[in-house]
Chain A
C-alpha cells in the first residue's frame, strides 16, 4: 500500500497533477471574471425592468439556471461545431462556465439590489441624482456588500464544477488523475486522495474567505 503511494506520488506524476490544478485555476479565474461582469449586467437588466427586454433576459437566465452544466459544456464544445464555430477545449470550457455562472450571478445581483432599502434610492433621487447615478453611487455599492458571501459560495461551486469539463477532455486535474491511475490500478486510491486533498484545500480556503467576509460585512 505504502509503496503504491510512493509510486503514485512520484515527482513527474505530482507535477502533471499540479499542472492540471493550474488549468483548473486558470479556467476558474477567467470564468469568475467573465461571469461577474456579465452577471452584473444581466442582473441589472433583470432588476431594472426595461419593457420586454428584462422579461426576455429573465426568462433566458431562468432557462440556463435550470440546465445542467454538463449539457452547456456539450453545447459549446460539440454543439457549436455543428453550426460552424469550432472553439478549442479551454475556450469552450471557459465559455460554458461563464454562461452558466453568469446566470447564477445575475440572480444573486438581482436579489442583492432588491435587498437594499428602497429609501436609499428615493433619498438619492430626492437629492438630485439621476436614476443611474443613484444606482451607480448609492445602491450598487451597498448591494455588492450584501452579495459578496453568496457570490463567493457560487465561485466555490464554480471551482468544483470545472472538474465536469473532464467530459470534453479539458486537461484539468480530474482528467489527469484519471490518466495517471489508468496506467496502474495501484495508483487509484492515492490519486483520489490527492484529488480530494487538492480540491479541498482550494475550496475550503474560499469558504473560510466567504465566512470571514460574511462576518465583516454583516
Chain B
C-alpha cells in the first residue's frame, strides 16, 4: 500500500482534488436549483407545483449514470462538446438537486406556519416573508441532511470514472490496471475517499443529535 502511494501519490491526489472540486461545484449548484424547485413546490401556483413535481420525480427515479452518460454521449453529438468532467458535474448537479429539493421542502414545512402568517400580517409579501423569515429558519434544519448529501455527492462523483472525468476513482482504476496490484490500489483509493467522507458524516451525526 505504501509503495503505491510513493509511486502514484501525485496522481491519486490530483484525482482526489478533481473529486472534491466537482462535488463542491455540484453541491453549490444543486443547492441553488434544489431550493428553487422546493420553493416552486411550496408555491400557491398550481402549474409551478406540477413542474417541480415532475422535475423531482424524473431525476429521483433515473439512475445517475444514465443522466451523466446522456450529457457525455448525446450532448456532444447534437449540441455542444463537453469534457467528461463537465458532463459528470452536470449529471451530479441535476441528480442531487432533486434530493436537495425534497430536503429543503421538508425544512420549509417544519417551520411553524405562524411565522409565515405573522410576516404576512406585518405587511411583507409572500416572497419577502419566504426570503427573510421562513427560509433562514428552514435552513437550520436542512444543514445535517445537506452534509449527508455532500457525502453522497463525493461517493456518487465516482461515476465520473465512466466518462473519463479524471476523478479519484478513474485514476485509481488506471493505477490498478498498470500496477496489477488491484487490492492495495483500491485500498489506497478507499482510504482517500474515507478521509473526506468519514469526518463529514460523523460531524453531521453529531449535529443531528444536537438539534434533535
Contacts and interface: CB of A to CB of B under 8 A. Distances in A.
B193 A66 contact: yes
A82 interface: yes
Given A163-B63, A207-B61, A62 B198 contact: yes
Contact of B155 (A67, A192, A200): A67
B137 interface: no
B77 A185 contact: yes
B186 A174 contact: no
Given A83-B183, A174-B66, A192-B66, 16 more contacts: A63-B194, A67-B190, A67-B193, A68-B193, A69-B155, A69-B158, A71-B189, A74-B176, A79-B183, A82-B181, A82-B183, A188-B73, A199-B63, A199-B66, A204-B57, A207-B61
Contacts, number: 109
Contacts of A81: 182
A203 interface: yes
Given A68-B155, A79-B186, A81-B182, A204 B193 contact: no
Interface in A159-210: 160-161, 163-164, 166-167, 174, 178, 181, 185, 188-189, 192, 195-196, 199-200, 203-204, 207
A192 B161 CA distance: 19
Contacts of A204: 57, 61
A203 B66 CA distance: 14
Given A74-B173, A164-B159, A174 B181 contact: no
A203 B57 CA distance: 10
A195 B189 CA distance: 31
Contact of A66 (B176, B183, B197): B197
B156 interface: yes
Interface of B: 57-58, 60-66, 69-70, 73-74, 77, 151, 154-159, 161-162, 169, 172-173, 176, 181-183, 186, 189-190, 193-194, 197-198, 201-202
Contacts of A71: 158, 169, 172, 186, 189-190, 193
Contacts of A62: 198, 201-202
A62 B70 CA distance: 32
A87 to B, nearest CB: 13
A112 to B, nearest CB: 15
A66 B69 CA distance: 24
Q: Which of B61, B169, B193 has the most CB of A within 10 A?
A: B61
Contacts of B182: 74, 78-79, 81-82
A200 B186 contact: no
Nearest to A160: B63
Given A79-B182, A163-B66, A192 B159 contact: no
Contact of A70 (B169, B176, B194, B201): B169
Given A74-B186, A78-B176, A167-B162, A66 B63 contact: no
Nearest to A153: B60
Contact of A192 (B58, B61, B70): B70
